């Protein structure tokens, strides 16, 4: 029995823009300091990215970030990147946690978005909110394009892949974490990622990078067949940002 020859490393420069990461130092569980940020951003450039839209957590019971905190952190980071002569563009949005504060404030229309009003949001990994469909509708009615972060990671959908189609039919845009492809988050998450890629359901690919360990896994993922398949799908919107 012959072993298949390994694939060449995927070219992430075709993605161009990473839209899910945690590079602003000291405000969530990502970069701890500016040195961390610069090390990660230099590696992102080496991987082929020319732009990152970093997305700090906003959650009422955890990281109580505001647009003002994030944008001030962004300005400091952009200055440090320029001084370090790292040739990468840095912007910021946020990763909003689906909680009561998020729900009640959607109509205020003050959310940090990226690109054409794309709004990144995430769920608890414990259970699906009962009113998820209503909140997707609320986001759409207020002019947002809801991008569900790391959709493959929610265990309550791993035995019912039809939910992904239901979400998409309601207007949710699905984002996949690159490191789910080689199995960083476990076999069930890897299987869900493969299903989503097989069915051309992924619109955004993100690193969700918090530390250099995540980027080491990105490098290992470059020869994964499903990463090659996703990049060749023609469905990714990253390069439009």
* Range 12-230+236-240 has CATH code 3.20.20.80: no
Q: Is the pLDDT of residue 230 over 60?
A: yes
Determine the pLDDT at residue 125: 97
CB-based contact 94:102 (threshold 8 Å): no
Q: Is the pLDDT of residue 4 over 70?
A: no
- 186-200 pLDDT per residue, tens: 999 999 999 999 999
Share of the chain above pLDDT 90, in %: 97
Q: Is the pLDDT of residue 1 over 50?
A: no
- 81-138 pLDDT per residue, tens: 999 999 999 999 999 999 999 999 999 999 999 999 999 999 999 999 999 999 999 9
Determine the pLDDT at residue 6: 79
The pLDDT-based confidence of 36 (bands split at 50, 70, 90) is very high
Of residues 79 and 5, the one with the higher pLDDT is: 79
Determine the pLDDT at residue 3: 57
Instruction: Please compute the mean of the pLDDT values over residues 196-221 and round it to a whole number.
Output: 98
List of long-range contacts for 113-118, beta carbons under 8 Å, 24+ apart: 113/144, 114/19, 114/53, 114/55, 114/241, 115/19, 115/53, 115/237, 115/240, 115/241, 116/145, 117/143, 117/144, 117/145, 118/19, 118/93, 118/144, 118/145, 118/147, 118/173, 118/204
- 157-173 pLDDT per residue, tens: 999 999 999 999 999 99
Instruction: Please compute the mean of the pLDDT values over residues 36-63 and round it to a whole number.
Output: 97
Q: What are the sequence ranges of the domains in the chain?
A: 12-230+236-240
Query: In terms of pTM, does the model score above 0.85?
Result: yes
Determine the pLDDT at residue 182: 98
């Amino acid at each position: 029995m012959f072993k298949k020859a390994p694939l060449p490393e995927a070219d992430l420069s075709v993605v161009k823009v990473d839209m899910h990461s945690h590079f602003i130092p000291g405000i969530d569980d990502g970069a701890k300091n500016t040195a961390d940020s610069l090390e990660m951003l230099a590696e992102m450039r080496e991987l082929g990215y020319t732009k990152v839209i970093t997305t700090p957590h906003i959650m009422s019971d955890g990281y109580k970030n505001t647009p003002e905190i994030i944008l001030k952190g962004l300005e400091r980071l952009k200055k440090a990147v320029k001084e370090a002569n790292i040739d990468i563009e840095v912007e910021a949005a946020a990763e909003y946690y689906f909680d009561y504060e998020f729900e009640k404030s959607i109509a205020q229309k003050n959310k940090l978005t990226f690109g054409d009003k794309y709004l990144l949001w995430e769920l608890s990994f414990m259970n699906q909110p009962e009113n998820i469909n209503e909140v997707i509708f609320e986001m759409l009615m207020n002019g947002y394009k809801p991008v569900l972060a790391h959709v493959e990671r929610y265990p309550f959908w791993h035995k019912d892949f039809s939910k992904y189609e239901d979400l998409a039919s309601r207007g949710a845009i699905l984002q996949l974490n690159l490191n789910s492809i080689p199995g960083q988050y476990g076999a069930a998450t890897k299987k869900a990622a493969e299903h989503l890629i097989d069915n051309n359901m992924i619109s955004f690919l993100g690193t969700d990078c918090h530390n250099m360990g995540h980027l080491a896994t990105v490098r290992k993922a470059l020869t994964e067949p499903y990463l090659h398949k996703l990049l060749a799908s023609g469905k990714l919107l990253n390069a439009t940002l």
